Amino acid sequence: MSRPIRLMIVDDSMVARAVLSRMIEADGEFEIAAVAGSAESAIEALAHVVVDIVLLDLEMPGAGGLKSIPRIIEAARGAQIMIVSSFAEEGAEETVAALALGAADTLPKPGTGRFNGRFSEILVARLRALGRADTQSRETAALIARSQASGPALRAMASEPIELLALGASTGGIHALGNFFAALPPRIRVPILVTQHLPAAFMTVFARQLGVAANRPAVVAEDGMALVPDTLFIAPGDAHLTIAAGFDGLVVKLVRHAVSSGCLPSVDPMLASVGALLGRKGLGVVLTGMGRDGVEGAAKLVACGGAVLAQDEASSAVWGMPRAIADAGLAAAILPPDKLARRVSSRCSEK
């Protein structure tokens, strides 16, 4: 039997800490390794205890949860951060900021007296998914390294300039996207599509914050929008972002059909449409995330002559989506986000 998933709960409310502990410990798959009433106390405790997940409230005395995320990530030595806070629902700005700083997932905390059964089920399911993915990643890293000592087989990538860049991500993706755009040249002269798994309510805030991080215009995509170079077109939370041929060039086409991954929005339709219309001149990048969303679309893009790059395991919050690309033999490169950005820039026209 595998060891339990170890957690730390960081919340200034003693009642919240006690209730969350009871909910989590009722499932034998988890162990509460530590609790803390402030971010500062959590950082001190993490010097002496090893955990897989840190449950973090955002509204606390002192430095607070949001500003402390980078320090907690550093102190936690690879543990995932899950935000459990009323701000996760009421303050989308704070939630997206937390994800951008490296939090892996968020969950709105119920109001006083509303820690009901449904919340408990959702919390445990999300923790289980995050903990299992992280534990699997840690436990299989050495095996992967041994079995692929020379690295996974990589596909050749065309050298001609691309005409469109498409990025897909899920858990940990906002932080990875920030690192990617920080290393990307300010102008690459092609439109940029982004599919990030987030609820629709967060997309406007996400677009605004990603635009600032990328130093480019960023919009939540709408059906029929003309694709403009060096502009980010972001999949809305209730539709898949694909492209179609318009009268004067490529345009956005939003679709809502079911996909095998169950994701909405999904990376698969985006990459497939890029392959169908652009072939060798389409380039996809799959960043950190749970599951396998993106692998089917990547296969179609590659079959049409395009290329796909994947984030490496060491820099991923959860090496699920990019690993699926690597395991399927579809990747032309497997690198951290900043180095992926340099590979992308090598395919961009200088004119």
Which active-site residues does the annotation give? 170, 197, 293
CB 292 within 8 A of CB 320: yes
CB 271 within 8 A of CB 263: no
Q: Distance (Å, rounded) from C-alpha 127 to C-alpha 29?
A: 10
DSSP 30-61: EEEEEEESSHHHHHHHTTT---SEEEE-S--S
- The set of residues, in sequence order, having a beta carbon less than 8 Å from that of 68 and lying 6+ positions away, is 39, 40, 42, 43
CB 320 within 8 A of CB 291: yes
Query: What does the angle CA 233 – CA 238 – CA 239 come to, to the nearest 5 degrees?
Result: 60
CB 157 within 8 A of CB 347: yes
E-only strand ranges, 91-248: 105-108, 164-169, 192-196, 218-220, 232-234, 240-246
CB 324 within 8 A of CB 284: no
Q: Distance (Å, rounded) from C-alpha 134 to C-alpha 147?
A: 20
